[in-house]
Amino acid sequence: MEATANFLLSDLKQAQPISGWEDFWSEGKAFLKTASAAYAQRKKAFTTVILYNIIAMAIEKFVMTALMCEGKLPFNHTMKDLVEAMDEAFPGAMSDIREGLLALDQYQEICDIDTFNISGPAMDEIPTMLGLANRLQDLVEKQLSAGNREK
């Protein structure tokens, strides 16, 4: 192994799971359950912006669950960053939902105060978002099962 100024490559250890992933998993399921029920019941308090944000929180929690189990974290928490972190940790696993998840970033630009923008999706877009979150939940559940972790 070639030495660098600070360490040997052989000094690197395999990433260990990050504790607390179970909380992210249960929170993600709760967010998705809430959004699904609110949409199904067409509760007026749950506008499309609120539904979008609850679904996005579910997605973020599911991604964090998967990454934490692998001892990894995303660079940031935009959909782009979450998808890229999943692509790196689980190459090819996100291929059928990748573009749909990336498209979710179009509804909010809240990182830069100069370009701050929130636009709500149409109500007929919510089922697609719920479907993406459900498919991601299934993907993460398979990852948990493969790692012999309790769900």
In angstroms, the CA 46 to CA 18 distance is 33
| First and final C-alpha spacing in the chain | 39
Here the tokens at position 148 are 């012999």
The answer to whether residue 24 is domain-embedded is: yes
Single pTM value for the model: 0.84
Q: Is the pLDDT of residue 142 over 90?
A: yes
Question: Using an 8 Å Cβ cutoff, are 31 and 57 in contact?
Answer: yes
Give the domain CATH number at 63. 1.20.120.330
Dump pLDDT digits (tens) for 7-61: 565 555 677 889 999 999 999 999 999 999 999 999 899 999 999 999 999 999 9
Domain assignment of residue 62, given as a range: 20-146
The answer to whether residue 33 is domain-embedded is: yes
As for how many domains the chain has, the answer is: 1
Q: Distance between alpha carbon 147 and the CA centroid of its chain, in Å?
A: 18
